[in-house]
Each structure stands twice: as structure tokens, then as C-alpha cells.
Chain A
């Protein structure tokens, strides 16, 4: 199972290590560094590295590498999932997960790691339970601690939910305002080819919840059109049988924020593409090339596209670009050669355009191919698949909760080839 964990920053310092079995010297990370020097970019390190006696399974998040050491045959996904979950917990606890944040809270980090894994086996991973065992730091507490001279981040009592049938929910929850909010968020992943036709498009959707309900509420959520959901991943709280037979989501929710389900609408379905790009990009040797891109709205069901950002990664041969947008502003990073155009709102009345010249480094050959543009945008109050929540009912408790559903569409990996 998971033997040790090393956290490594971008400059190659192992700044934190935790061992759940015997201590493995951090020189084991040399194998990782070797792979790092071979990789072209920080993201390109293979997630699994074999060494003579160990396996290094690593993930890369927020400029940090989390390298787990295993010695026995173990499902690699198990380790990768665990590592991502660890980072999720850190982010939840510290509102961020950078090197300085982890160092600042290193005692809590150790306590958490100790609680999450025992002898290499996951012990308590539910945020609910962890928070009962180890209190997250907050400003107010830091102050009271400093004044009273007492620091008690650690609870002295056993969390109650740990061994119940609903381990994700603690008992004795009490709120004065009982509320439950559901966010239906859909991300559109698409590849659009040069001519503007869709190569592939799919939707990655999830329903994130914020539930603050007293006692042990039993919720059912129904959809107007559940047929969209044929490829789903559920939070363990959902009763699978009822979904199979009645297409109803029935569950006792965890307390607080959690992801109820995620779903995938594949490329075999029709996926609406909300924006359309018109582009004319070419390089010229010796003189300036051209860059001319216009964005316009396509299928948005009458809603407005907002926070539109266009990103263009130019090849190394490009020296700089001189562009004029008729809306928003643009930046060009001379190191990464990425041009970012922050367009903002996409009005139906006019189509934002950016045009100008591309200058190549002197002596560089003309690049083979045009860059692939990537787009970010949001469309609020719309789930682009058309998925709609029908109603939410609560059983098991007497009070009347406040309920709300919000829809949001975002660009996921939305790429336009030029």
C-alpha cells in the first residue's frame, strides 16, 4: 500500500515527507527528478515511475508534485485518487494549497495525513469526519488561541459518523436556517476544425450541492428529462437501486458542500456549440504575418455568453504580436508565447474582433502549422444539454427547508484549430 508521501515544489525541493510504514530516505526522489529532467514540461512527467525497489506514483497540482511511494502491487488509480483527495482536503482546509500555505499549517497537514491513512490504508477521508477530528484553521480561532494561550486544533472525542451506515454525515446537525442549494454545472469539451465544423463535442456535467439541513433528512431529486443521464458517477450517498428502477435520486446528504453526481454526455449525442470563430492566421518569412479573429454567438438558447477569454499559444519562432481588439484587452507573454484576449461579454449586436500582425524572430523558419485556439466562457442560467431539475422533496424531518437550483454552462477544453 502507500508507503510514503513526498511533496516536492517546482524547484525540486522535497519540503515535506510523511511515512506510514518504515522511513524511506528521500533520495528515492532522485528517480523522480530524473524523469523530470527528461520531460518537456512540468505536466509531462509520467504518473508512474518504476525504480528498482519501489514505484513512484505522482500527481501534479498547483505547481506541486505529490509523490507517493509504493512497494507492492497496488491499483495505481487507488493511489492517484487518494492523492487528489488529499489535495482536495488541503484546499478545503486552507483555502489553497501552495508550498507556503502547507508550510504554514504543517502541523495540521501532518495530523490530517496521519488521520487519512493508517499503515498505508485510507482511514478517514470524508471531509465531514476529518473536520470533526481536526478543526480547520480560521482567523478567529488564531486570535483566541493567541489570547488564551490554548491551541486545541484536535478534538478529544471520536467523530460519530465514522462507523454508522451513513459515514458521510455526522449526527446531531442543527441549523436555524435550513437550506439546500443545487448547482447544475456543465462544461463543454469540443474540438472545432479549421472549417468551423465540430470534430468532437461532449458535455461533462456535475451537480454540486450546499446542504445545510438539521437532523437526518432524506432527499429525493427528480428530473424533467432524466434520459440525458445514462453515464453517471454517484456520490456514495445515492441509492443506486432507486435510480436504476425509477430514475429518482434518493439520498441522505452529507453536511455542507459536496458533489452529488457527475455525468457525461458523449459525442454520440448532439451537443450545441455556443460560439463561433472566424479566423485568418498566417505567417510570412521576413515580414509580418497576420492575425485576425472574430467571435460570434451561435447556439445559446437566448442567453448571453460572458467572461469570454481567448487564448492563443504561439510557437517559439514568434517574437511578438501587435494586435488591436475592438472589445476587451489582450496580453502577450514573451516567455510562454501565449496571447490572451479577455473579451468579456458577448453582445448579440456586434461581434468582437482582434486583428494585427505577427512578427517572427529573425532567422526563424516559418512555423509548420497554425496555433490551436482555446476558449473559456460561461453562460449562466443555462445547462446546455437541456437537463432540468423537476422537484426536490424532503422526508424524515418536519421543518420546511429553503431550496434552490442554479444552472451554469462553462467551456471545458474548448479548442479551435486554425
Chain B
């Protein structure tokens, strides 16, 4: 007599039978029938045809039966909206039942029925339930408001406003949608002690969105949050860690309080690692972020990351990653012994990663490099093919990090049964060795070259062998230049997350973003929201302002509100441009440097492609002109607008060998972003994809993501102001005059631009090419006066007066606009254009 019997009915005419039973007079039979219906529903059978009969059973005083019917309703109401109306009356009646449990159940279920027509009827009972005398009913009703919002947003706002005070009392969760200030934060912190563990997670998450006004407040919040670190619920612990990590940014780094916080953070993180494997996984992903931000927290806890042989593979791989991040001179011996142990395990992925980890240790901890190399050699002796492959690949990196130190071991490696990638690497390595120590390795190199060209049936290997052979036989000096070309030093830490992204992810500790190590807007659907940033360190921020002030006494304080309707993100961007403007522009005033020479010898497919394309298109030798070249071909008018020299946006050390330089230019009435990709790594890159995370201007990429076969990289770019000058920036003379008068004189600022080697006409045409239009020219007492106008893409007009004395290379520029903040940048643009 157990309920599992209901799972077995598969007879024909079953629905018909159930229908009869549901309409039976006997209560017991009715209930049995409903149970059968639910069982069918569970295994995925369609029992929606029974809707009216089941709804008929709803009016009952048997609570269990009622619950079962409600369960049915929640599943099927959506597919039978018209019939669902039949249930409304009973719901409304139940909402006024004397038993609070039934009232709550009714309002709860009603909220789950996602049918528009029902929601209309729901409002009134819900309003009543929000004011119910029983707190349990109020609590349920509060959650119901959120459900309703999901279904019908308009309807709910009015109700919600009325209910909010009660929601605050009954369910602190709702507070997360409210504006934060010290007052609400205080309330939340108090509520933290009284609500359930699940509520605590939401509260802590809301607190983490709040930026305290000063260090003192940050510290007091930390003090009230830290007890949560000892909670039994892992989610509460990790959310508390998030709050503390974020607030620590605001605290004085050297202070005692931070030191004590760092001490408090380690134990809870370690404890998470003794929980269920799924929890361990999430914890490890987050710890990975935390140790990148503050390695001091776990520096003494290396041993908890040692791998147990029966850990799930996803835990093993994560532990390994963190072990390497925590490796230092003091614990390298232990770590190496462990890694060597792991390299003999069964799981291939794990073994490969372990071998690679040994190489990373060698690169990270210099004094241990020798030990690492000998460990790798031991592993090569095992002759397990994937171990040997990985070992050789990492030894290559070790050579790059410590040139001229370990090359002699190459002789011990054999060129025979390895896979192609390894053979290629070996060949290159041996040729390099020969070029450095020709005397002791002549025999070896000859042997290898003949092996690769004659005995190998791999065309790539043969080709490379022939190339080296010919190079070496015709011109050893050239060979040296090609093969031993300087490569960027390999960085100490690979796989580090780009710092701004890391900071953003720290704000998302405990969330899905922290597991994927990607910002939430990159993968959560419909998540446009503001990006979270760590709070600035209070002292530092002040320092920066002072510095700026000293440099530019005339600079107006940045006012993000200049642009009408701009949200804070635009403000940020403007601020950023203003702030970093001077130094950035100075960089650009240096003579344009030719693009970095493509490293020869590296097997970079991209380089060849890039250069070839340039030549084909007949463009200049720098990648920046590629687009210009295109323009030529198609006979388009080539505007000679000013193009700032390319800047390095993604240095090779961060891009794992991929270097990206770029600039912005305005061409053919459009803003162009020009990018040059250079492969400075030793392997070809492929599978490129670019994503622009645009800001609310809709055009300027604030952040660019580049993906290739190796990884995803992020870089931020600065858009120079002049690309935003519009083509229709020519003002009518009269309007110009009127506007000039209209703008109050305090808004007028004068700058001097020195050493301009041009006369008034060239200046005028140069500026015109950049959409700065000369409206009138006057000659006053031997001086040329140019009156100019320009318009920014967001509709801001800027008026200028340029005073040129024929014998004096210093020009005087007066600017007038309603938005004073842009002056500095505009002046820079003038300088750049006129000096170009």
C-alpha cells in the first residue's frame, strides 16, 4: 500500500477511468484519483484533459486534497487559461479562510499560475493578504508580489509601492531592490542576525553592492559581517567573503585591521574545501580569484590544495591551478614532490596539467628551476607519450625564461617517436643550440637535420628541416638573426586574469560569474546593468585629484552631468578621458614609431598574412594604413585627417604572445578603429573573434574582447576626442556670432599653442580635414583671426577663435562652449593636428 503503485497504471482508456473516479461521490476515491493524476503528470504524461474534473475537486476541506489540486493547477493552468478562470472563485474564497495556512497557500498558488486573466483577480486578495494579521501570510504575500511582477510588471508597481513598507518588515530580501544608504545598510545588518540563512545570502549580496562613504564605515560593516564567516551554510560564508574582500579595498593596506581580516578569511575558505565536492568546486573557482587578488590570505594553506586520488576531476584541476599560484620558494620542495606524484596518475588531462605545472613552477621560482628541470627529465624517462610531450613543451618555456642555462639537456632528448609538435620544437631547439654553441653540437645538428629531412614522412618537419639546413649552409649569420631573434621574455605568471577584470570579478565572488571567470554581462542573458567596480581606496583618490590640480591650475573639475541625459557610465568614460588625457596625448606627440618588426623565426601565421595583405593592397608598411590602402583601391577620396600613432592596447606579456596595437581615426564620415595584431608567441594563432562591449554612446568600445585558439583577452581603449567631430559641424555665421555672444564670458578659456610651422591657410585646411570648420577669417592689425566651429557626436557645439601672428609660431586659441569640461581635450586635439 504505497504510493509507488500509481506509477504503474498504463492501461488503455485510463483518462476515461480517472475522469469517472474524479467525479465519484466518495471523498477517498476522489483523492486516490487525484494522486493518480499527479503521478501521471510526474512521469510526463499529458493529463490536461482532466482539468475541469480536477478543478471540481478543489472545493474541499481536506487540506491534502486541496494541495494536490493546487499542484496540478500550477502545472496546467498555463495550457488551459480559459478553464483556469474556473478556479478563481475558490482561490478568492480560500484567501479569506479562517485558517492562515490555507490563506497563505491560496495566495501562494495563485501567484504561481501564470495566466494574465487570473492575475487581474489576484490583486485584490493579495492586497488583503499583505495586510493580514498573521505574519506568515504577509510573508507569503510579499514573495507573491515579486511573482506578480514577473507576469505583469505594470500592474504590480502601484501595489508594490503601497506594500513596500510591509515587505521590508516581513521579508528583508525585497530590500535588495531598494536604494542603498547608510540607514538601510544598518537595517540590513541588523536583519542579518535575525533572518534565516537563505535570507542572509540575499542580504549579504545587497550589502556587497553598497559602497560605504569612508573607511570608518567600511570597517564597521566588516566587523558586523565577519561573524557570518563561521556559518554552517557555505553560501552564507562565501557571500560574507565577498563583502569583506570588497570592503578591504577601502581600508588602509598596512593597517592592523586589514591584517586581522586577512587572518580571519583563511579558515572559512579552507573549511569550504572539506564540504561536498560540488561546494569545493565553486569554492575553488572563487579561491582562484581571491589568491590572484590577495595571495597573502592563503599563503600558509598550501597543503589543503593537495589532491586526493578520488577527488572528482573538476576538483583536481582547480586545486592544481591554485597550488601553482601559491607556489613560492618556501614551499616549492613539497609542491614539486606532489606534482611528480600526480604525473603518474591515470587521468590524462590531469597528468598533462601536472607536468605543465612543473614547468610553471620553474618559471615562477627561479632558485628551484634546476630541480624542476631534473624532475621533468625524470618524467621523460617514463616514456609515457603524453607525459613526454608535455614535458618537452614546458622545457621550451624554461629555455625562454632562463636563456643559456639548461640548453645542454637537449642532447638527452631523442628525436624519434615523438609526435609532430614535439619534433618541431626539438628541431628548432637543437638548431638554436647549435647557433649558440657551434663547437660541441655540430654532430648533433647534422644528425638531426638529416633525420628530419630524410627519415621523416611529415612534410612540416621536412620543410622546416630544409629551411634550417639551407639557412645554416648559406649564411650562418643570417640564420642566427632569424633563429635567435629576440623574443619577449616569458612572464612569470601565466593565465593571470587581466587586473580590471579581476577587480570586477572580485565584486562577483560567489556568483556564477565567479565560477566562469567572466563578467556577468558576458553570459547572463538580458543582463545589461552597470558593471561593478571595486571601491577606490579613499586616500589614493584624493591624492590623484591634488596632483591634477597642481598640473593644470585652470582645469575645471570633471562634471559628468555635462551631457544631458547621460548616465553614470558616460560620466565615467569622460572622466577617464579627461584624467588620462594629458599623459596619453604626450605619448602621441612622439614621432610615430614604425610597427614592431615581426619576429622572424616564430611560426606566426598571422605575421605573414598581415604583411602580405599590406603589400597586396599597396598600402604603407605600417599596419595602421591598411584601411587607407583599401580606400585607395576603391578610388575613394582619401581624407588626410589626423590619425594618432597606434598605441599598445594589449601587451604581448598579457596576451600570451598576442600583441594588439590600435588607434582611432575618422574616415569617410565614420569612426574607424584600426587594430594591428602581432603574433609574438611561438605558435600559430587561429580562430580569432572580436567582441566589442560598447558603452551607452553606442559607438565607442569601452572594452574589447579578443578570442583566439589560446584564450580570451580583454583590453580597454581610449577614444581620442577628434574622431567624434561631426561632418556637419559648420555653423552658420550669424548663429556663430549669436552663440559666441550668448555663451557667458567666464566660459571662455585661452590656450597658447607653441611652435606651429604653418600659416593661416594650411592651418585652416588641416583642421578642416578633421571636421573643424573655419567660418570666417579676419585680419586685425596684421594678425589673422580664424573663427571656427565643431560639433561632437553627442551634439555639443564648440566655438573657437585662433589668433595667428605671421612672425610668431605661437598661436592663441580661445574656446567657448557650454560644456567647459571638453576644453582640455579639444585643445589637445588642436595641438596634435597642428603639430602633425
User: What residue in chain A is nearest B273 (Cβ atoms)?
Assistant: A264
B511 touches A75 (CB 8 A): yes
A105 touches B2 (CB 8 A): yes
CB contact list, B469-525 vs A, under 8 A: 510-513, 515-516, 520, 523-525
Chain A residues whose C-beta falls within 8 Å of the C-beta of B384 in the assembled complex = 368
Q: Per-position contact with A for B534-556: 1 when CB-CB < 8 Å, else 0?
A: 00000000000000000000000
Chain B residues whose C-beta falls within 8 Å of the C-beta of A158 in the assembled complex = 99-101, 104, 134, 136
Number of interface residues of A (CB under 8 A): 98
Chain A residues whose C-beta falls within 8 Å of the C-beta of B112 in the assembled complex = 20-21, 119
Q: Per-position contact with A for B45-75: 1 when CB-CB < 8 Å, else 0?
A: 0000000000000000011100110010011
Q: Per-position contact with A for B27-45: 1 when CB-CB < 8 Å, else 0?
A: 0100100010011001110
A114 touches B194 (CB 8 A): no
A369-B344 contact given A75-B235, A262-B232, CB 8 Å threshold? yes
Chain B residues whose C-beta falls within 8 Å of the C-beta of A230 in the assembled complex = 267
Query: Is B527 among interface residues, defined by CB-CB distance under 8 A?
Result: yes
User: What residue in chain B is nearest A52 (Cβ atoms)?
Assistant: B525
User: What residue in chain A is nearest B314 (Cβ atoms)?
Assistant: A46
B312 touches A43 (CB 8 A): yes
User: What residue in chain A is nearest B1 (Cβ atoms)?
Assistant: A146
A106 touches B235 (CB 8 A): no
Question: Complex formed: what's the CA distance from A191 to B308 in Å?
Answer: 8
Chain A residues whose C-beta falls within 8 Å of the C-beta of B281 in the assembled complex = 46-48
Chain B residues whose C-beta falls within 8 Å of the C-beta of A60 in the assembled complex = 278
Question: Complex formed: what's the CA distance from A75 to B208 in Å?
Answer: 13
Question: Complex formed: what's the CA distance from A262 to B268 in Å?
Answer: 11
Chain B residues whose C-beta falls within 8 Å of the C-beta of A200 in the assembled complex = 303-304, 306
Query: Is A167 among interface residues, defined by CB-CB distance under 8 A?
Result: yes
B173 touches A106 (CB 8 A): no
User: What residue in chain A is nearest B43 (Cβ atoms)?
Assistant: A15
Q: Per-position contact with B for A2-13: 1 when CB-CB < 8 Å, else 0?
A: 000000000000
CB contact list, A61-109 vs B, under 8 A: 71-78, 80-82, 84, 100, 103-107
Question: Complex formed: what's the CA distance from A153 to B31 in Å?
Answer: 13
Query: Is A140 among interface residues, defined by CB-CB distance under 8 A?
Result: no
Question: Complex formed: what's the CA distance from A415 to B232 in Å?
Answer: 27
User: What residue in chain A is nearest B305 (Cβ atoms)?
Assistant: A200
Number of interface residues of B (CB under 8 A): 102
Chain A residues whose C-beta falls within 8 Å of the C-beta of B38 in the assembled complex = 106-107, 110
Question: Complex formed: what's the CA distance from A230 to B347 in Å?
Answer: 36
Question: A368 contacts which of B1, B304, B382 (Cβ < 8 Å)?
Answer: B382
A47 touches B232 (CB 8 A): no
Chain A residues whose C-beta falls within 8 Å of the C-beta of B173 in the assembled complex = 121
A53 touches B525 (CB 8 A): yes
Question: Complex formed: what's the CA distance from A26 to B6 in Å?
Answer: 21
Query: Is B437 among interface residues, defined by CB-CB distance under 8 A?
Result: no
B515 touches A78 (CB 8 A): no
CB contact list, B268-299 vs A, under 8 A: 268, 270-271, 274, 276-279, 281-283
A80 touches B276 (CB 8 A): yes
Apart from the given pairs A81-B279, A123-B143, 6 other A-B contacts in the complex at a CB distance below 8 Å: A47-B314, A81-B233, A119-B147, A157-B99, A158-B100, A413-B308
Can you identify 9 A-B contacts, CB atoms within 8 angstroms? A19-B74, A73-B520, A74-B511, A103-B4, A106-B7, A233-B231, A234-B231, A262-B271, A415-B309
A contacts, CB < 8 Å to B: 14-17, 19-23, 26, 39-40, 43-44, 46-48, 50, 53, 55, 58-60, 71-78, 80-82, 84, 100, 103-107, 110-111, 114, 118-119, 121-123, 125, 142, 146, 149, 151-158, 162-163, 165, 167, 189, 191, 193, 199-200, 202, 204, 230-236, 240-241, 244, 259, 261-262, 264, 266-268, 313, 315, 368-369, 372, 374, 413, 415, 417
B contacts, CB < 8 Å to A: 1-4, 6-7, 28, 31, 35, 38-39, 42-44, 62-64, 67-68, 71, 74-75, 78, 99-101, 104, 108, 111-112, 114, 134-136, 139-140, 143-144, 146-147, 150, 173, 194, 196-198, 201, 205, 227, 230-235, 237-239, 267-268, 270-271, 274, 276-279, 281-283, 300-301, 303-304, 306, 308-310, 312-314, 334, 337-338, 341, 344-347, 382, 384, 510-513, 515-516, 520, 523-525, 527
Cβ-closest 8 pairs across A and B? A231-B267, A369-B344, A47-B278, A200-B303, A122-B198, A78-B235, A77-B235, A267-B303
